[in-house]
Amino acid sequence: MRKTPPILLLLPVIAFLVTFLGLPVLIILHESIRTFEPGRIGTVDGAALTIDNYVALLHPAYARYFFDTYFLAFCAALLGILFAFPIAYHVARNASPKTRKIAVTGLVGLLFWSSLVRVYSIQLSFGSVGIVAPILTYFHINTNGKAYLDVIVIAGLLQYTIPISALMLIGSVQSLNPRLTEAALSLGASKAMAHLTVTIPLCTRGLLAALLVSLALGASAFVVPLVLGRGRVIFISNLVYSRFSEMANFPSGAAIAIVMLVCSMLLVFVISRLGSLLDRT
């Protein structure tokens, strides 16, 4: 009996990716170099191709959108890992099988909880008219200030990054040999030093994977900055939506989306290279 060539098994997946990922990206790329005429919906048919849509992104105002998006997403991803790692370690090492199942079920359940419910719960609690607002006002904290809104947006993103990071890190911790940590303890290292020098370095790949996934979720967030940012914290996804849906400027929205894609790919490459360098040390 002849075996099926592996490439044939991949053909359905390849066809799906080309149709629903590769082709749309090419269409967006082509749209980004077309001409937009104010007052029209979409682009001008038959007009010459142009790179003006990309040149317009050199304006300093766009740098703020990109900075806010990636900086706040990175902060949320990093904080999510800091909070998620102790949870993952306890679930993987110290929890009983029953407790482990309950914890994993709870973490997965958080991911299924409506994003609108989570976002508006933060807004009703810590927003300008939230129940905590009088306390914040008493301490002279401006709930409409940019810095405060940045913190609230990060808090909203943490509701995604903590569960997904914890779920990813549970597997990384479970795959470690506990005798390595025990050996460090027997040699006189404290528990904190044993974790810093043994456990965490061995979880580097899992930590970087969780960082990348959390960063992707944060950078592509739409509802969180839209509701919690209140127009002062605008992510690239909000900007793209505005260009396509509110201004009908398809070329500008497409150009922003392509630049975001390139920046994200470069960021993934840099973090992956950093992970490779850490593995060699």
For 101-123, write each residue's pLDDT tens digit: 999 999 999 888 888 899 999 99
| 109-135 b/e (C-beta count within 10 Å ≥ 16 → b) | ebeeeebeebbeebbeebbeebeeeee
For the chain, the structural domain boundaries read 60-280
A 10 A CB-CB count for 29 gives: 14
Model confidence pLDDT, tens digit, residues 246-276: 888 999 999 999 999 999 999 999 988 888 8
Report in angstroms the alpha-carbon separations of 270 from 96, 210, 217, 267, 274: 38, 15, 18, 5, 6
Q: How far apart are CA 263 and CA 250, in angstroms?
A: 20
Q: What own/partner pairs with CB < 8 Å and gap ≥ 24 does 19-25 have?
A: 25/261
- Check whether 95 has a pLDDT greater than 80: no
Instruction: Give the pLDDT band (50/70/90) at residue 2.
Output: low
The H-or-E segment that residue 134 falls in is helix 133-138
What mean pLDDT, rounded, does the chain reach? 90
Instruction: Give the pLDDT band (50/70/90) at residue 66.
Output: very high
User: Using an 8 Å Cβ cutoff, are 45 and 178 in contact?
Assistant: no
**β strands within the chain, DSSP E:** none
Report in angstroms the alpha-carbon separations of 38 from 16, 248, 251, 252: 36, 9, 12, 12
At the topology level of CATH, where does 60-280 sit? MetI-like fold (1.10.3720)
Residue 139: phi, psi to the nearest 5? -90, 15
Q: How far apart are CA 77 and CA 45, in angstroms?
A: 43
Instruction: Collect all residues with Cβ–Cβ distance below 8 Å to 186 and sequence separation of at least 6.
Output: none
Helical ranges in 175-199 per DSSP H: 178-186, 191-194
Instruction: Give the pLDDT band (50/70/90) at residue 184.
Output: confident
First to last CA, the chain: 48
Instruction: Give the pLDDT band (50/70/90) at residue 281.
Output: low
